[in-house]
C-alpha cells in the first residue's frame, strides 16, 4: 500500500455468525485509494462488496467480526471511539446508500436535515447553514431548492431523494465518498443523471470516490481503477482501461460476456456463466470460481490462487490460468 | 386500426386500451389509449420506466385489471367481453412470469405441488399424469425433478426459483407468456442463464412472448420488435434493430443514451439534465413527454401525437421525430 493513500484497507476480513455457521463475507482484502481518485468495486450479490464498504465505514452489524486494518487519512479507524467516528463519518468520510431512505430521516424536513448537518460539522450559524443548503440542493440539480427545504422525504421522487442524500453527503466537503449501488433502485434515465452528478461533483471537489456496483457498465467510463470481487475476495484489480481490455481473470471475462450487448442482434445467445456462486458458509479449498470456470484444472480445485501482480505492479489477479489478451474470446 | 405487425391475425391484439385506477380519490392514468399487436411466434419487448404503465398493460391483457375501455383480442376472441368459465379457459393459454419469483408463490408448499397446481385447477385429475407433466417441465427448464419436487421455495436461489416459476408457467403448455421484468432481480451471471432459458423454451413450446422490462439491452437481446411506453402512452414501436439504430422518438433516444456501456473508451455523455417523469395523476397535455423533451414546442402541448409510420414497421407518436418517413 502506498504511503500517500487516503484510504488503505489492509488484510480486512469480516466474519458473520449465522445459524448455519461462520460466514466469511470478506476474505482478506487489500485496497488503497489516493486523494481525488475513483475506484470501482464490482461484484454480484453476496460477493462481499457491501460488507467491505461497511467495514471501511466501521458500520458493520453487531454480530460481525472485523479483522485487519482500515487506515483513513492517517488514522486507524478501529482506534477511534464512537464520537470521533461519528464526527469523521459526517465530515471527511461520507456515504450514499442504494436506498436514500437509509440515510434520510422520514419525519424531518429536507431543510432540517441539511441545516443540522452543516451546523453540527461545520459550525455554521443558522442563516449561513440555510444559505449553504440552498446552494447544495441547487448544485445537485434540485429545482426550486428554497421550497424543497420545507418538504419531507416522502414528498420527493426516488431520484430527488437520492439527490438530497448526495447533497447531505457532499455538504461537508468529504475527502472520500463511498457510493454503494447509488443508482440501482432508480430508473434508467435517472440513473444516468445521478451517475453524471456524482462524477461531476467528484471532479469539481477533487474528492476520492468508491463506486460500488454490480454493473460493469457503470464503472467503465467513470473510474480510474476497478476491483472485481467474487466470494469475499478481490479476484482482479487494475486500472479501468486494462481491466476491460487486458483482463486476466476468467471471472471478469465471464461477467463482461454475460452482459447483453446493445449492438448485438436480437436472439444472440448470451455466454452465460454456469452454476452459481459458492455457499459462503461452505468455503471452497481452491479457487472459489473454479466450479464455474472453463479453464479450471485440478490445481485450481485444491489450491487458492493468491492475488498477485506478476506482470505490472498495478494489475493484480488471482488465477493460475490467466487469460491471454490475444487468445481472449471477444465478447 | 393501425396494424403494426402487418399480419392479418395477430395472436394478441390490444385495441385502444385504457386502464385507470383511483388512489386516494385521484385517478391514475396508467394506460391511455394503447394499441399493439403481437404476431404468433413473435417476442414483443415492452420497455419504459417505473410508472409508465407497462406492468398494468400486462395485467390488463390477462384481465387481472379491468380496462375502462378498449379491447384485448386473443386469438380473435375479445377477453374484455368474457367472464367466468370462458375467461378461465382462455387464461390457461396465457401465463405470467413475475419479477420477484419468491414473493409470487406460496412459501409453504412444495415445489412439486406449486407446479402441479395449474394442472389441478385446469382439471387434470390423474395424479400420475400430473406427476409426469411436472417432471417433464422441470427437466425442460434444467432442474432435476427428483431433487426439486419435494423441497420448499426458500431452499432455492433466485435464479433457480425463476426456473421454477418458468416451469409453472409452462406446465399447461400455453401459447402466450407475459414476462414482467423476469430477470431484473437477478445477478448478471444468472440473468444470462435465464434469458437463454426463455429463448430455448420459446422455441421448444412454440411460445409467443410479451417481454416487459426497463432494461433496454435485456429487451433487445430477446425481442423481435420493441414497444416503448412513457406515462401510459405508446411512444414508438419498431423492429428491435431498426429502433436501436434509428430511434424516432426523443424518449427512445434518451433511453438508449442512458444505457451504461461496459467500455472504458465510451465516456458517459455529458447530457442535458432531462428532468423526471411527471405524475401519472396529472399527465401533461398533448404529448406526455414534452416536459422533458428538447424538441417540444407549442404544438406538442396542444395536440396528442398519433402513432404514424416513419420506416417500414416502425411507428412513432411524435410531432418532431428524429427520423422522418422517406
Test mutation, B189, B257, B278, chain A, max A CBs within 10 A: B189
List, in sequence order, every residue forming a beta bridge with A39; answer none if it has no partner: A210, A225
| The residue to which cell 407433466 is assigned | B133
3-state secondary structure of A30: strand
List, in sequence order, every residue forming a beta bridge with A29; answer none if it has no partner: A12
Say how far apart CA B73 and CA B83 lie, in whole Å: 14
Q: Give chain B positions within 8 Å (CB) of A315.
A: none
Q: Smallest CA–CA separation between B109 and chain A, in Å?
A: 23
| Cα separation values, B225 from B66, B117, B188, B219, B257, Å | 26, 33, 23, 9, 19
3-state secondary structure of B12: strand
Predicted local confidence at residue B266, as pLDDT? 79
| Cα separation values, A314 from A71, A166, A236, A256, B128, Å | 20, 31, 10, 21, 62
- Tell me if B50 and A187 make a contact (CB, 8 A cut-off): yes
List, in sequence order, every residue forming a beta bridge with B69; answer none if it has no partner: B18
Are B79 and B11 in contact by the 8 Å Cβ rule? The answer is no
- Strand ordering across the sheet containing A38-42: A93-96, A176-180, A208-213, A38-42, A225-230, A233-239, A316-317
B273 touches chain A (CB under 8 A): yes
Say how far apart CA A247 and CA A331 lie, in whole Å: 12
Q: What is the mean pLDDT of residues A225-248?
A: 96
| The residue to which cell 498495478 is assigned | A314
Are B235 and B229 in contact by the 8 Å Cβ rule? The answer is yes
Of B114 and B50, the structure prediction assigns the larger pLDDT to B114
- DSSP-assigned letters across all residues of B169-197: HHTT--SEEEEESTTTTS-HHHHHHHHHH
Say how far apart CA A39 and CA A241 lie, in whole Å: 13
- Tell me if A222 and B273 make a contact (CB, 8 A cut-off): no
Q: Give chain A positions within 8 Å (CB) of B240.
A: 266
Are A307 and A233 in contact by the 8 Å Cβ rule? The answer is yes
Q: Smallest CA–CA separation between B240 and chain A, in Å?
A: 7
Q: Smallest CA–CA separation between B86 and chain A, in Å?
A: 35
> Residue B228 belongs to what H/E stretch?
strand B225-230
Q: Which of A188, A192, A256 sits opposite B262 (nearest CB)?
A: A256
Say how far apart CA B54 and CA B315 lie, in whole Å: 18
Are B118 and B130 in contact by the 8 Å Cβ rule? The answer is no
pLDDT tens digit string along B158-203?
A: 888 899 999 999 999 999 999 999 998 888 888 999 999 999 999 9
pLDDT tens digit string along A95-151?
A: 999 888 888 999 999 999 999 989 988 888 999 999 999 999 988 888 888 989 999
Q: State yes or no: pLDDT of B3 exceeds 70.
A: no
Say how far apart CA A183 and CA A99 lie, in whole Å: 9
Predicted local confidence at residue B68, as pLDDT? 95
| The residue to which cell 455538504 is assigned | A171
B68 closest CA partner among B23, B17, B22? B17
**Where exactly are the structural domains of chain A?**
243-260+271-331
- Tell me if B221 and A215 make a contact (CB, 8 A cut-off): no
Q: What is the mean pLDDT of residues A315-328?
A: 81
> What is the band of A331 on the pLDDT scale with cuts at 50, 70, 90?
very low
B102 touches chain A (CB under 8 A): no
Q: State yes or no: pLDDT of B268 exceeds 70.
A: no
Catalogue all structural domains in chain B, each as residue range(s) with its CATH number.
Answer: 1-39+49-93+215-259+276-326 (3.40.50.300)
Q: Are strands A208-213 and A38-42 parallel, antiparallel or unpaired?
A: parallel
Predicted local confidence at residue B211, as pLDDT? 97
- What pTM does this model have? 0.89
Predicted local confidence at residue B270, as pLDDT? 60
Q: Which of A199, A259, A267 sits opposite B262 (nearest CB)?
A: A259
B262 touches chain A (CB under 8 A): yes
C-alpha cell at B311: 420506416
B266 touches chain A (CB under 8 A): yes
Q: Smallest CA–CA separation between B1 and chain A, in Å?
A: 28
Predicted local confidence at residue A325, as pLDDT? 56
| Cα separation values, B213 from A23, A129, B64, B134, Å | 34, 43, 19, 28
Q: Give chain A positions within 8 Å (CB) of B188.
A: 44, 214-216, 255, 258-259
| Cα separation values, B286 from B1, B289, B301, B318, Å | 21, 9, 4, 10
Q: Which chain A residue shows the shortest CA-CA distance from B217?
A: A262
- Tell me if B192 and A260 make a contact (CB, 8 A cut-off): yes
B198 closest CA partner among A266, A184, A294? A266
Q: Are strands A93-96 and A176-180 parallel, antiparallel or unpaired?
A: parallel
Are A326 and A306 in contact by the 8 Å Cβ rule? The answer is no
Residue A62: CB partners within 8 Å, gap ≥ 6?
Answer: none
> Residue B201 belongs to what H/E stretch?
helix B188-205
Q: Smallest CA–CA separation between B236 and chain A, in Å?
A: 17
> Residue A118 belongs to what H/E stretch?
helix A110-122
pLDDT tens digit string along A70-85?
A: 999 999 998 999 999 9
Q: Give chain A positions within 8 Å (CB) of B274.
A: 189, 193
Predicted local confidence at residue B75, as pLDDT? 94
Q: Smallest CA–CA separation between A280 and chain B, in Å?
A: 13
Residue A182: CB partners within 8 Å, gap ≥ 6?
Answer: A96, A97, A98, A162, A166, A194, A195, A198, A211
Residue B296: CB partners within 8 Å, gap ≥ 6?
Answer: B287, B289, B290, B320
Predicted local confidence at residue B1, as pLDDT? 44
Of A330 and A254, the structure prediction assigns the larger pLDDT to A254
Q: Are strands A5-18 and A21-34 parallel, antiparallel or unpaired?
A: antiparallel
| The residue to which cell 464512537 is assigned | A82
Q: What is the mean pLDDT of residues B117-136?
A: 93
pLDDT tens digit string along A15-62?
A: 998 888 889 999 999 999 999 999 999 999 889 999 999 999 999 988
Say how far apart CA B205 and CA A98 lie, in whole Å: 39
Q: Which chain A residue shows the shortest CA-CA distance from B222?
A: A267
Tell me the average pLDDT of chain A: 90
C-alpha cell at A194: 445521478
Q: Smallest CA–CA separation between A309 and chain B, in Å?
A: 21
Count of C-beta atoms within a 10 Å radius of residue A204: 10
> What is the band of B26 on the pLDDT scale with cuts at 50, 70, 90?
confident
- Tell me if B262 and A157 make a contact (CB, 8 A cut-off): no
In the A/B pair of chains, how many CB contacts fall below 8 A? 141
Q: State yes or no: pLDDT of B272 exceeds 60.
A: no
List, in sequence order, every residue forming a beta bridge with B309; answer none if it has no partner: B315
| Cα separation values, A288 from A105, A147, A279, B135, Å | 40, 52, 10, 32
Q: Which chain A residue shows the shortest CA-CA distance from B50?
A: A187
Predicted local confidence at residue B70, as pLDDT? 96
Q: Which of B192, B224, B276 sits opposite A270 (nearest CB)?
A: B192
Say how far apart CA B17 and CA A248 lie, in whole Å: 52
* Helices and strands per DSSP (H, E), number in chain A: 11, 11
Q: Which of A141, A157, A244 sits opposite B264 (nearest CB)?
A: A244
Instruction: Indicate the DSSP class of residue A69.
Output: E
Residue A5: CB partners within 8 Å, gap ≥ 6?
Answer: A32, A33, A34, A71
| The residue to which cell 412470469 is assigned | B97
Amino acid at each position: 500500500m502506498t504511503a500517500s493513500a487516503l484510504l488503505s484497507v489492509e488484510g480486512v476480513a469480516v466474519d458473520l455468525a449465522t445459524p448455519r455457521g461462520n460466514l466469511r463475507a470478506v476474505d482478506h482484502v487489500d485496497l488503497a485509494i489516493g486523494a481525488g481518485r475513483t475506484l470501482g468495486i464490482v461484484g454480484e450479490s453476496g460477493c462481499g462488496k457491501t460488507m467491505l464498504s461497511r467495514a471501511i465505514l466501521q458500520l458493520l452489524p453487531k454480530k460481525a467480526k472485523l479483522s485487519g486494518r482500515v487506515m483513513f487519512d492517517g488514522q486507524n479507524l478501529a482506534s477511534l471511539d464512537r464520537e470521533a467516528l461519528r464526527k469523521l463519518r459526517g465530515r471527511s468520510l461520507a456515504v450514499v446508500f442504494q436506498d436514500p431512505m437509509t440515510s434520510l430521516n422520514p419525519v424531518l424536513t429536507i431543510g432540517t436535515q441539511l441545516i443540522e448537518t452543516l451546523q453540527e460539522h461545520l459550525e455554521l450559524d443558522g442563516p449561513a447553514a440555510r444559505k449553504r443548503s440552498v446552494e447544495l440542493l441547487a448544485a445537485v440539480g434540485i429545482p426550486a431548492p428554497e421550497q424543497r427545504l420545507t418538504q419531507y422525504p416522502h414528498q420527493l421522487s426516488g431520484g430527488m431523494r437520492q439527490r438530497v442524500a448526495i447533497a447531505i453527503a457532499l455538504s461537508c466537503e468529504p475527502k472520500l465518498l463511498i457510493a454503494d449501488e447509488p443508482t440501482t433502485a432508480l430508473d434508467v434515465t435517472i440513473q444516468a443523471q445521478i451517475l453524471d452528478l456524482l462524477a461531476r461533483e467528484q471532479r469539481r471537489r477533487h474528492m476520492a470516490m468508491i463506486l460500488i456496483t454490480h454493473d460493469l457498465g457503470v464503472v467503465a467510463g467513470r473510474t480510474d481503477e476497478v476491483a472485481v470481487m467474487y466470494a469475499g475476495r478481490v479476484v482482479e484489480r487494475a486500472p479501468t482501461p486494462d481491466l476491460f481490455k487486458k483482463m486476466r481473470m476468467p471471472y471478469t471475462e465471464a461477467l463482461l460476456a454475460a452482459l447483453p450487448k446493445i449492438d448485438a442482434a436480437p436472439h444472440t445467445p448470451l455466454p452465460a456463466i454456469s452454476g452459481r456462486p459458492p455457499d459462503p458458509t461452505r468455503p471452497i479449498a481452491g479457487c472459489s470460481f473454479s466450479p464455474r470456470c472453463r479453464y479450471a484444472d485440478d490445481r485450481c480445485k485444491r489450491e487458492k490462487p493468491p492475488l498477485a501482480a506478476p506482470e505490472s505492479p498495478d494489475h493484480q489477479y488471482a488465477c493460475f490460468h490467466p487469460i491471454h489478451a490475444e487468445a481472449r474470446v471477444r465478447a | 386500426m393501425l396494424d403494426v405487425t402487418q399480419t392479418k391475425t395477430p395472436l394478441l391484439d390490444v385495441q385502444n386500451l385504457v386502464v385507470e385506477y383511483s388512489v386516494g380519490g385521484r385517478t391514475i392514468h396508467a394506460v391511455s389509449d394503447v394499441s399493439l399487436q403481437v404476431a404468433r411466434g413473435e417476442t414483443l419487448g415492452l420497455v419504459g420506466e417505473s410508472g409508465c404503465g407497462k406492468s398494468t398493460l400486462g395485467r390488463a391483457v390477462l384481465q387481472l385489471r379491468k380496462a375502462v375501455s378498449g379491447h384485448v383480442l386473443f386469438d380473435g376472441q375479445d377477453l374484455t367481453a368474457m367472464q367466468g368459465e370462458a375467461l378461465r379457459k382462455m387464461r390457461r393459454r396465457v401465463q405470467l412470469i413475475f419479477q420477484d419469483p419468491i414473493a409470487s408463490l406460496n412459501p409453504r408448499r412444495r415445489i412439486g405441488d406449486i407446479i402441479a397446481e395449474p394442472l389441478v385447477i385446469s382439471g387434470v385429475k390423474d395424479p400420475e399424469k400430473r406427476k409426469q407433466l411436472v417432471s417433464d417441465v422441470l427437466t425442460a427448464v434444467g432442474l432435476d425433478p427428483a431433487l426439486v419436487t419435494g423441497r420448499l421455495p426458500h431452499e432455492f436461489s433466485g435464479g433457480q426459483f425463476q426456473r421454477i416459476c418458468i416451469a409453472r408457467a409452462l406446465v399447461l403448455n400455453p401459447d402466450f407468456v407475459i414476462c414482467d421484468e423476469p430477470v431484473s432481480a437477478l445477478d448478471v451471471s444468472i440473468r444470462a442463464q435465464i434469458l437463454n432459458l426463455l429463448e430455448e423454451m420459446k422455441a421448444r413450446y412454440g411460445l409467443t412472448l410479451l417481454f416487459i422490462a426497463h432494461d433496454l439491452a435485456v429487451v433487445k437481446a430477446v425481442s423481435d420488435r420493441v414497444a416503448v411506453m412513457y406515462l401510459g402512452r405508446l411512444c414508438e414501436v419498431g423492429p428491435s434493430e431498426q429502433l436501436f439504430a434509428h430511434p424516432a422518438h426523443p424518449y427512445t433516444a434518451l433511453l438508449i443514451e442512458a444505457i451504461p456501456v461496459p467500455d472504458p473508451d465510451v465516456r458517459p455523455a455529458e447530457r442535458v439534465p432531462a428532468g423526471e417523469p411527471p405524475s401519472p395523476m396529472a399527465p401533461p397535455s398533448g404529448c406526455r413527454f414534452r416536459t422533458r423533451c428538447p424538441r417540444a414546442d407549442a404544438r406538442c402541448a396542444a395536440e396528442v401525437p398519433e402513432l404514424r409510420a416513419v420506416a417500414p414497421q416502425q411507428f412513432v407518436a411524435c410531432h418532431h421525430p428524429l427520423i422522418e418517413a422517406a
